């Protein structure tokens, strides 16, 4: 990792740009995959799974027998951990329920808003070298709380045509039983268009590689909603001299091991701390099973020495990280200055891993600078907000003139007439 020392503000834009990775004809390739799925359904899914995963599938849907077998393969220790994490995640997302409130905007005019669940949602769960069963908790729990009627899950099979047992257990633990052995862009296509086996959904959730991300982007253009734009994982750590260098190094590596395209950034006002983190990072790196992956990610990562913590926060707000750790004194006092971030971790003991697994917050977050305009997944992601209004005779009399004037000014006379005809009716009734 390179160190950048006190870069002038005019150069910051260049540093906050995420690294670009070669993706020759990515859109064309993904569009071809989606079109095959749209036209050929299950046959396309089986052929594409054979091509990309080297697996010949007999059945796309996971059987009840497979689910039962998976449960037996998951240790009691992991089952207990999943249950504890689920309770925490459920508690946090339950707290996000909106209370319906009727507001009388003017006498006789009542307005309110109600949340209603998106009926059919699809969850994409990566299942490669790092099967993300934790993501099922992050997506499945708010979907259940919201009341989504149909929840389906797609995840790629391994070389034996099987699904990781932890993925199957976690899904069934939440009551998700429609699970399909399909991954990549073809899974997104299956959920977007529907096949003979995989149902069509209204909204697609979940992270994935560049093919999955591009597929989500493309199906969105066809009217299928997605959770948020997502790219490679990232963390930005702001640390001062009070930070523990070993903690900081561990946090940086926790994201670097996600993938070669991940990016990790350290901002500090202490040159000494940066050097200590470098040493600790190299020492810890040698012990990681995914060291080769993390090393590649570190090639695209960097340290920045700045003059103050305030300056570090300004840089962070421009970068808009997926995960932001404030390993600084009085972190809570600086929290109010954070404007752009997916999820924030305050203090030396608030590791990013806690948010990934068990603290309760959601780990499905905007990346690639999208935290400037997007929130992470929450209960709101699984509902639509419908507004209602009830206008009485008194109400239409109170706001009618206002509507007539505005409609006439926009030259929309039918709009005006919809009010005028009511006002005249009331006027005539009052005469009689």
Distance CA 2, CA 251 (A): 17
Query: Is residue 323 flagged as an active site residue?
Result: yes
- Catalytic choice (234, 257, 258, 323): 323
Q: Is 222 exposed, middle or buried (0-12, 13-18, 19+ CB in 10 A)?
A: exposed
The length of the chain in residues reads: 432
Sign of CA dihedral 50, 53, 54, 59: negative
Q: Which of 158, 11, 183, 10 is nearest to 70 (CA)?
A: 158
Q: Which residue has the tokens 């299942």?
A: 127
- Catalytic choice (234, 257, 276, 322): 322
Distance CA 258, CA 243 (A): 24
* CB contact set of 113 (below 8 Å; sequence gap of 6+): 98, 100, 101, 385, 386, 387, 388
124 near 179, Cβ under 8 Å? no
Distance CA 266, CA 312 (A): 9
| Residue 419 Cα distances to 107, 399, 400, 414, 424, angstroms | 17, 9, 6, 9, 9
Query: Is residue 322 flagged as an active site residue?
Result: yes
Q: What is the dihedral of CA 23, 25, 30, 35, to 10 degrees?
A: 180
Distance CA 411, CA 19 (A): 51
50 near 182, Cβ under 8 Å? no
How distant is the alpha carbon of residue 243 from its chain centre? 29
Measured from the Cβ of residue 336, the count of other Cβ atoms closer than 10 Å reads 7
End-to-end CA distance of the chain: 85
Distance CA 338, CA 240 (A): 17
How distant is the alpha carbon of residue 263 from its chain centre? 17
Instruction: Assign 229 to helix, strand or coil.
Output: coil
244 CB-side CA count, 13 A: 9
- DSSP-based helix, strand, coil % in the chain, nearest 5: 50, 15, 35
Q: Bin 206: left if φ > 0, else alpha if -120 < ψ < 50, else beta.
A: left
Pair of tokens at residue 78:
């992991």
Would you please indicate which residues are annotated as catalytic (active-site) residues?
322-323
């Amino acid at each position: 990792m390179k160190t950048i020392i006190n870069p002038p503000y005019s150069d910051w834009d260049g540093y906050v740009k995420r690294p670009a990775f070669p993706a020759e004809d990515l859109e064309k390739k993904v569009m071809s995959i989606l079109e095959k799925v749209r036209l050929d359904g299950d046959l396309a899914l089986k052929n594409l799974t054979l091509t990309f995963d080297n697996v010949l599938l007999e059945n796309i849907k996971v059987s009840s027998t497979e689910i039962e077998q998976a449960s037996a393969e998951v240790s009691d220790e992991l089952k207990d951990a999943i249950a504890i994490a689920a309770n925490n995640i459920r508690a946090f997302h339950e707290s996000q329920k909106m209370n319906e409130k009727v507001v009388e905007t003017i006498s006789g005019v009542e307005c309110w808003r109600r949340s209603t669940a998106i009926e059919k949602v699809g969850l994409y769960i990566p299942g490669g070298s790092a099967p993300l069963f934790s993501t099922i908790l992050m997506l499945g729990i708010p979907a259940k709380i919201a009341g989504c009627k149909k929840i389906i899950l797609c995840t790629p099979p391994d070389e034996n045509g099987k699904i990781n047992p932890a993925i199957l257990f976690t899904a069934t633990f939440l009551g998700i039983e429609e699970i399909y052995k399909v991954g990549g862009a073809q899974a997104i296509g299956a959920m977007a268009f529907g096949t003979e086996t995989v149902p069509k959904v209204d909204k697609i959730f979940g992270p994935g590689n560049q093919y999955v991300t591009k597929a989500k982007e493309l199906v969105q253009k066809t009217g299928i909603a997605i959770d948020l734009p997502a790219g490679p994982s990232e963390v930005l750590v702001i640390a001062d001299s009070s930070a523990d260098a070993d903690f900081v190094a561990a946090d940086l590596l926790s994201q670097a091991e996600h993938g070669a395209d991940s990016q990790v950034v350290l901002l500090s006002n202490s040159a000494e701390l940066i050097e200590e983190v470098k040493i600790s990072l190299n020492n810890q790196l040698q012990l990681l099973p995914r060291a080769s992956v993390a090393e590649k990610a570190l090639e695209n990562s960097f340290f920045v020495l700045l003059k103050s913590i305030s300056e570090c926060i300004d840089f962070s707000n421009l970068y808009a990280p997926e995960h932001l750790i404030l390993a600084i004194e009085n972190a809570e006092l600086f929290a109010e200055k954070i404007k752009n971030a997916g999820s924030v971790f305050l203090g030396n003991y608030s590791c990013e891993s806690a948010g990934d697994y068990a603290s309760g917050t959601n780990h499905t977050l905007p990346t690639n600078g999208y935290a400037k305009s997007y929130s992470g997944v929450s209960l709101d992601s699984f509902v639509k907000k419908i507004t209602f209004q009830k206008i009485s005779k008194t109400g239409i009399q109170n706001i009618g003139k206002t509507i007539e004037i505005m409609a006439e000014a926009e030259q929309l006379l039918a709009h005006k007439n919809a009010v005028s005809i009511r006002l005249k009716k009331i006027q005539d009734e009052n005469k009689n």
